[in-house]
């Protein structure tokens, strides 16, 4: 059992223990629950009738096994604590990328990507046409810009 400084705050009762409670009457169930709490809290176990005592012995075996596992876990945690614990993670105040993105935010891999191209033209309007613009539309747009 754990020392008073390391007293457990809880214990486990399993669903399978209900089979042990089921044949007992209300008084026997109360006596069984009292015996379980007395056992876990370090008190004196009350006198139990034969049927209740059989149920208690079965449950007590699980309580003792769980108590040993708890004590072993506490011991292991104590040893690990003496080692200093996990090293602190290096945290960076600023991201390597100023926008906080891990990838290029302009790199869209979707079907709606914009396609920019220029149509090779000869003459005075070469390379000035907008995508999808005909030669005639380009000439009109450039003439309007010149007249402004």
Higher pLDDT, residue 137 or 68: 68
The 3 state secondary structure assigned to 64-121 is HHHHHHHHHHHHHHHHHHHCCCCCCCCCCCCCCCCCCCCCCCCCCCCCCCCCCCCCCC
Q: Give the pLDDT of residue 106.
A: 61
Q: Which whole number is the average pLDDT over 61-90? A: 87
- Whole-number percent of the chain with pLDDT over 90: 40
pLDDT band at 119 (very low <50, low <70, confident <90, very high): very low
Query: Is residue 7 helix, strand or coil?
Result: coil
User: pTM of the predicted model, to two decimals?
Assistant: 0.52
Q: Give the pLDDT of residue 2.
A: 46
pLDDT at 8 over 60: yes
Q: Give the pLDDT of residue 93.
A: 61
Q: Mutual orientation of helices 50-82 and 26-41 as an angle, nearest 10°? A: 30
| C-alpha to C-alpha distance for 80 and 72, rounded to whole angstroms | 12
| Cβ-based neighbours of 43, under 8 Å, separated by 6 or more | 37
Domain ranges of the chain: 16-82, 119-148
Higher pLDDT, residue 148 or 62: 62
pLDDT at 90 over 70: yes
pLDDT band at 117 (very low <50, low <70, confident <90, very high): very low
| C-alpha to C-alpha distance for 7 and 16, rounded to whole angstroms | 26
């Amino acid at each position: 059992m754990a020392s008073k400084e390391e007293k457990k705050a809880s214990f486990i009762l399993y669903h399978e223990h209900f089979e042990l409670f089921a044949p007992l009457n209300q008084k026997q169930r109360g006596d069984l629950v009292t015996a379980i709490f007395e056992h876990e809290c370090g008190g004196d176990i009350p006198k139990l009738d034969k049927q209740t005592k059989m149920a208690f012995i079965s449950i007590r075996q699980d309580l003792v096994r769980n108590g040993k596992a708890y004590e072993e876990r506490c011991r292991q945690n104590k040893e690990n604590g003496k080692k200093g614990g996990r090293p602190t993670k290096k945290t960076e105040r600023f991201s390597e990328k100023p926008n906080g993105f891990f990838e290029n935010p302009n790199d869209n891999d979707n079907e709606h990507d914009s396609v920019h191209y220029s149509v090779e033209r000869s003459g005075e309007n070469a390379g000035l046409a907008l995508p999808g613009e005909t030669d005639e539309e380009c000439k009109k747009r450039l003439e309007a810009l010149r007249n402004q």
